[in-house]
Amino acid sequence: MGLTPATAGAGEVSSARLAALLDSRRDDLHPDLKGVVVLRHGRRIAEAYYNGDDATTLHDIRSATKSLTSLLMGIAIDRGRVAGVDAPIARYLPSPLPSGWEAITIRDLLTMRSGLAADDTDPASPGNEDTLDEAGEKTGDWATAALAVPVREAPGRTYQYCSLNAFLAGLIVERATGQSLDALAQEALFGPLGIAAHSWRQLPGGHGTGQGNLSITARDAATIGQMVLNQGTYKGRRVISRRWLSDSLARIHPIAASDPYADFYGYMWYAKDEPLGDGRTVPVHFASGNGGNKIYVVPSLDLVVAVTSSAYGKGYGQRRSQDILLSILKAMP
């Protein structure tokens, strides 16, 4: 890890207070909260595990994985394997592609504004993730179904969250670098961060699951958040360019009208202003996955909070994780 436990000093939040705060979550009526890790100034100041998990448990963070796919895209761009976010995706995908795909850029994928007919909340949508899963199982190749989804509207206009965009971003990274997402992550991200154990689902056809299903420990999720907080460095080593992190966390598209837990979307990272206990608010950037899986990054407080949860498909999972974050923020001096 390279992140050491810390005791509270002058002006610091009490570790005992945070421990009590996290311990109170053991009374939760829903037995699916798994872990919480809190880092302050790069040091682990509190952590707790629940319902059978511990510091070594690999946990599926679901769509929080999309934010890591964005990091891998940044690495591919940093290395010159992908031209940049304004490059057309057709340059990196096999042809022929459906009409209209030639206008879609990598930026459109990363900001969920591709214009593809893909809506994970609509079972009738051609690009619905479950529909593509079924097609992939039947044909033995997820990509074949994904690359046949029609265009709904011109790209760059409408935010529509969907897993297809993240899959395509991951596929582009794989084709441009000649490495699987898993192999690239191990070499360029997990290795430098000291992440020794993980599991990442592989789709039919051998493609990486850029949209989700990465399993890591809560501590390692926090380590990823710390690297993001450090603007791309870890233990003095540059992992991803500062510019990529700045662009990724930018408040590119307002989404509060459709998402009660976020105000803006960047390059597959969310942003929201959250309240402190004294009436002020602080900007929070975060990766988010089904069930309440979160990697929260709070630059102004030099704070990272990782939450793992198995409340998949349950609305209370997202609410609970936000409540945990808010209680930690209110405990900050």
The chain-wide mean pLDDT, for the chain, equals 95
Average pLDDT over residues 286-310: 98
- Note whether 37 and 306 are within 8 A (CB): yes
Work out the angle at residue 308's Cα, subtended by the Cα atoms of residues 307 and 312, and round it to the nearest 5 degrees. Answer: 125
Q: Is 217 helix (H, G, I), strand (E, B) or coil?
A: coil
DSSP class per residue in 20-38: HHHHGGGG-SSTTEEEEEE
Beta strands in 164-314 (DSSP E): 199-200, 214-216, 233-234, 237-238, 253-254, 264-265, 270-275, 281-289, 293-298, 303-309
Q: What is the pLDDT of residues 144-199, one digit of tens each?
A: 999 999 999 999 999 999 999 999 999 999 999 999 999 999 999 999 999 999 99
Q: What is the pLDDT of residues 222-232, one digit of tens each?
A: 999 999 999 99
Q: Would you say residue 233 has pLDDT above 60?
A: yes
Q: Would you say residue 43 has pLDDT above 70?
A: yes
- Note whether 47 and 328 are within 8 A (CB): no
Q: Would you say residue 6 has pLDDT above 50?
A: no
What is the structure's pLDDT at 17?
92
What amino acid occupies position 291? G
Instruction: Take residue 90 and report the two structure tokens written for it.
Output: 């057709």
Q: How confident is the model at residue 1 (pLDDT cuts 50, 70, 90)?
A: very low
Q: Which residues of 268-297 are buried (b: 16+ CB within 10 A; e: fewer)?
A: bbbbbebeeeeeeebbbbbbbbbbbbbbbb
What is the structure's pLDDT at 2?
39
CA distances from 188 to 158, 310, 326 (A): 32, 28, 33
Q: What is the pLDDT of residues 238-273, one digit of tens each?
A: 999 999 999 999 999 999 999 999 999 999 999 999
Residue 14 phi, psi dihedral angles, 5° rounding: -70, 125
- Note whether 86 and 106 are within 8 A (CB): yes
More confident residue, 243 or 4: 243
Residue pointed to by tokens 């976020």 = 262
Residue pointed to by tokens 């974050």 = 325
Distance CA 60, CA 314 (A): 15
What is the structure's pLDDT at 12?
65
What amino acid occupies position 224? I
What is the structure's pLDDT at 333?
77
Distance CA 223, CA 171 (A): 25
Distance CA 236, CA 249 (A): 21
What is the structure's pLDDT at 3?
46
Q: What is the pLDDT of residues 96-130, one digit of tens each?
A: 999 999 999 999 999 999 999 999 999 999 999 99
Q: How confident is the model at residue 7 (pLDDT cuts 50, 70, 90)?
A: very low
Q: CA 283, 237, 332, 246: dihedral to nearest 10 degrees?
A: 0
Residue pointed to by tokens 């998949």 = 312
Q: How confident is the model at residue 15 (pLDDT cuts 50, 70, 90)?
A: confident
